[in-house]
Chains A and B, each alone.
Chain A
Amino acid sequence: MLQARLASRRGEFALAAELSADAGSTLVVVGPNGSGKSTVLRMLAGLDRPDEGMVHLDGEVWGDTARGAWLPAERRSVGWLPQELALFPHLSALENVAFGLRARGEGTAAMARAREALHALGLERELGRRPAALSGGERQRVALARALVVEPKLLLLDEPLSSIDPSARASLRGILKQALAARGVTTVYVTHSPLEALALGGKLAVMHEGRVVQEGMPADLLHRPRSEAAGAFIGTNFFRGILASRDGSGLVAIHTVAGELLAADPGLDGEVFVAIDPREIVLSREAPSGSARNVFRGRVVEIAPEPPRGERVRVALATRPPLVAEVTRQALESLGVTEGSEVFAAFKATALEPYQ
């Protein structure tokens, strides 16, 4: 089990992050560039030292600034894959993987174990090649083998798929997931991509401006974001507000700073959060006559196609409160809506489940 608390200040940037991961599990740390993810990894690895903090792994104290202790990387047991991979350019794939074993004095056994590790990742033919002669995906796997072959207690992956051709990412992610599951090594996986984070399927920690703003399973994050940063990150409409009047019909009004929403009564009081899935929002040119209780009128500010193919589009609206709807391109075209059009946005009160 990994437990870490890290705080440091470098000029304008303040880091204050708490993380934990069960033994053998993968914790995905996700957040925009510059949110402090790589710094967290470097501190876990023992390459950087926080002003204050601690790192415990499986009962061992790797660092505790209160006791003046902070083990350097060579005295921890970590595998670290920096974003640039940093394969040794003058060594072959096999020598790269054997490096850690040879460094601790394993002679001939090192080469056999390194060969085995490369085979396990499907690299039988590339043993003698130098990094410059390998493809991006091959380099990535060599770096993974180099980190795993020394059997670290903690594996640290920094944007492992960022340098990979997008078309090869899914298959490499599969290889990665498999390798991690087979080893049962506690892993911290850093990525800036929400898609990638959710695809990994494990526990997530969302970082924003040096802080972990939310920690939880993917479903929890998707349906119950707890901060503007987390909401923006997964691309959902997020509001915080105060539960106001109950009218006995099972609906409640929620006052947000930007307007009022009607929601199903959660049986809560005080401050609540609300997430509105952009796909629940229906757009129309005329005032809707249906059963939707939340209807807002406003101009279309932006229309942005959704990756990968742009069949769905995200429509940002200058309503009060501001909303983002996600509809098919076809639907939008049949409505004749373009940027600047006036539209009605509607969604059912029952689509909203306030939470705390």
Chain B
Amino acid sequence: MKLAALMARAAGGAAIGAVGAFLLLPVLALLLQVRPRTLLAELADPTVLDALRLSLLTSAGATVVVVLLGLPVGLLLGTREFPGKRLLEALVALPMVLPPTVAGLALLLAFGRTGLLGGALSLLGITVPFSTLAVVIAQVFVALPFFIGASAAGFRGVNRAYTEVAATLRASRPYTAARILVPLSVPSLAAGAAMGWARALGEFGATITFAGNVPGVTQTMPLAVYLRLETDFDAAIALALMLLAVSFGVLFALGASPFSLGRTGAAGASR
């Protein structure tokens, strides 16, 4: 019995050590192999700065769109029961399981020049593919499920008695959502937004399929890293490190990660 317990502890410790090493090793490899001189040179390269700026702008824009579109869906899935709910949940999760290149292809078939909506859009004078708009659309598509999932979990975690009391006080559903549900779910909403943003920032497959690789217009950092790999390996390492530093810095500064999901809002657990 004692031996078994000891072995279980050892196995647990080994697993934790292995995960730590497995997650840190690639980052360490990047750090060790970057050449400071190349890093400085790339930092001064206008095309790199363009890619970085484009990545930050599009991912930020996509996050705003994701939050605005995702909140009502998160409320619906998190607080109400209705027929077809399981189906809607599966549909919302679809972009998470779809390979990003397939997602890009699907977006192309929907919004492309010859796609389902392409004709209507071109009549309005809008061409989506290979534009910055396409980059944002691709990012929104892949990031939405992360935010919707996290926000629905947050809303579901709010004590039902609060919304029931609000109903007896004759508050409308939107009013209750704005004054009770959202404030009490802030940590989950922030975690969802952060995860969505990180997913948008790292978007590659759907972007290159649907938006292409036009420097300054659709070439985001992940695309730039991939392209450098073929021409200048050291430059690719430098860019990768920049991307890593930016995303880690933002997530750390906001204090938001998947791990803030279970935490409740302002004393949400107390009476």
With both beta carbons as reference points, the residue of chain A lying nearest to B184 in the complex is identified as A90
User: Within B148-184, which residues are at the interface with A (CB < 8 Å)?
Assistant: 159, 161-162, 164-172, 175-176, 179-180, 183-184
Q: Of B58-66, B102-110, B134-142, B260-268, which binds chain A?
A: B260-268
B164, B169, B171, B267: the one contacting A89 at CB < 8 Å is B267
Determine if A139 and B183 form an interchain contact, defined as CB atoms under 8 angstroms apart: no
Given A86-B161, A88-B162, A90-B265, A47–B167 Cβ distance below 8 Å?
Answer: yes
With both beta carbons as reference points, the residue of chain B lying nearest to A152 in the complex is identified as B168
Determine if B171 and A100 form an interchain contact, defined as CB atoms under 8 angstroms apart: yes
Determine the distance from Cα of A130 to Cα of B179 in the docked complex, in whole angstroms: 15
Given A74-B170, A89-B184, A80–B165 Cβ distance below 8 Å?
Answer: yes
Q: Chain A, interface size: which category? A: 20 to 34
**B244: shortest Cβ distance to chain A, in Å?**
36
Interface 0/1 of B248-271, CB less than 8 Å to A:
000000000000000001111111
List A contacts of B175 (CB < 8 A): 103
Determine the distance from Cα of A73 to Cα of B160 in the docked complex, in whole angstroms: 14
User: Within A50-106, which residues are at the interface with B (CB < 8 Å)?
Assistant: 72-80, 82, 84-90, 99-100, 103-104
Determine the distance from Cα of A73 to Cα of B183 in the docked complex, in whole angstroms: 22
Determine if A100 and B170 form an interchain contact, defined as CB atoms under 8 angstroms apart: yes
Determine the distance from Cα of A99 to Cα of B171 in the docked complex, in whole angstroms: 8
Determine if B183 and A82 form an interchain contact, defined as CB atoms under 8 angstroms apart: no
**B115: shortest Cβ distance to chain A, in Å?**
43
List A contacts of B269 (CB < 8 A): 89
Determine the distance from Cα of A306 to Cα of B270 in the docked complex, in whole angstroms: 34
List A contacts of B169 (CB < 8 A): 99-100, 103, 146-147, 150
Interface 0/1 of A119-155, CB less than 8 Å to B:
0000000000011100000010000001100101000
**A282: shortest Cβ distance to chain B, in Å?**
49
Determine the distance from Cα of A46 to Cα of B166 in the docked complex, in whole angstroms: 12
Determine if B183 and A47 form an interchain contact, defined as CB atoms under 8 angstroms apart: no
A76, A85, A103: the one contacting B171 at CB < 8 Å is A103
Determine the distance from Cα of A131 to Cα of B266 in the docked complex, in whole angstroms: 11
User: Within A302-350, which residues are at the interface with B (CB < 8 Å)?
Assistant: none
In the complex, whether A300 has a CB less than 8 A from a CB of chain B is no
Given A82-B161, A89-B270, A131-B270, A47–B184 Cβ distance below 8 Å?
Answer: no
Determine if B183 and A90 form an interchain contact, defined as CB atoms under 8 angstroms apart: yes
List B contacts of A86 (CB < 8 A): 159, 161-162, 164-165, 271
**A263: shortest Cβ distance to chain B, in Å?**
49
Determine if A132 and B170 form an interchain contact, defined as CB atoms under 8 angstroms apart: no
Determine if A103 and B166 form an interchain contact, defined as CB atoms under 8 angstroms apart: yes
In the complex, whether A157 has a CB less than 8 A from a CB of chain B is no
List B contacts of A104 (CB < 8 A): 170-171
Determine the distance from Cα of A74 to Cα of B267 in the docked complex, in whole angstroms: 26
Determine the distance from Cα of A100 to Cα of B270 in the docked complex, in whole angstroms: 21
Interface 0/1 of B168-207, CB less than 8 Å to A:
1111100110011001100000000000000000000000
Determine if A103 and B271 form an interchain contact, defined as CB atoms under 8 angstroms apart: no
A76, A79, A85, A90: the one contacting B266 at CB < 8 Å is A90
Determine if A45 and B271 form an interchain contact, defined as CB atoms under 8 angstroms apart: no
Determine the distance from Cα of A75 to Cα of B172 in the docked complex, in whole angstroms: 10
**A44: shortest Cβ distance to chain B, in Å?**
10
**A150: shortest Cβ distance to chain B, in Å?**
6
With both beta carbons as reference points, the residue of chain B lying nearest to A90 in the complex is identified as B266
**B81: shortest Cβ distance to chain A, in Å?**
13
Determine the distance from Cα of A45 to Cα of B176 in the docked complex, in whole angstroms: 17
**B186: shortest Cβ distance to chain A, in Å?**
9
**A327: shortest Cβ distance to chain B, in Å?**
42
Among B161, B168, B180, B269, residue most surrounded by chain A Cβ atoms (within 10 Å): B168
List B contacts of A152 (CB < 8 A): 168
Determine the distance from Cα of A47 to Cα of B169 in the docked complex, in whole angstroms: 12
Determine the distance from Cα of A132 to Cα of B166 in the docked complex, in whole angstroms: 19
With both beta carbons as reference points, the residue of chain B lying nearest to A76 in the complex is identified as B168
List B contacts of A79 (CB < 8 A): 168
**A134: shortest Cβ distance to chain B, in Å?**
10
Determine the distance from Cα of A220 to Cα of B159 in the docked complex, in whole angstroms: 41
**A190: shortest Cβ distance to chain B, in Å?**
15
A47, A85, A99, A146: the one contacting B164 at CB < 8 Å is A47
List B contacts of A74 (CB < 8 A): 167-168, 170-172
User: Can you identify 20 A-B contacts, CB atoms within 8 angstroms?
Assistant: A74-B168, A74-B170, A78-B168, A82-B161, A82-B164, A82-B165, A86-B159, A89-B270, A90-B265, A99-B166, A99-B169, A99-B171, A100-B170, A103-B171, A104-B170, A131-B267, A131-B271, A146-B165, A147-B169, A152-B168
Chain B residues with CB under 8 Å of chain A are 159, 161-162, 164-172, 175-176, 179-180, 183-184, 265-271
Chain A residues with CB under 8 Å of chain B are 45-47, 72-80, 82, 84-90, 99-100, 103-104, 130-132, 139, 146-147, 150, 152, 163
By Cβ-Cβ distance, the 4 closest A-B pairs, closest first, are A100-B169, A103-B171, A86-B161, A90-B266
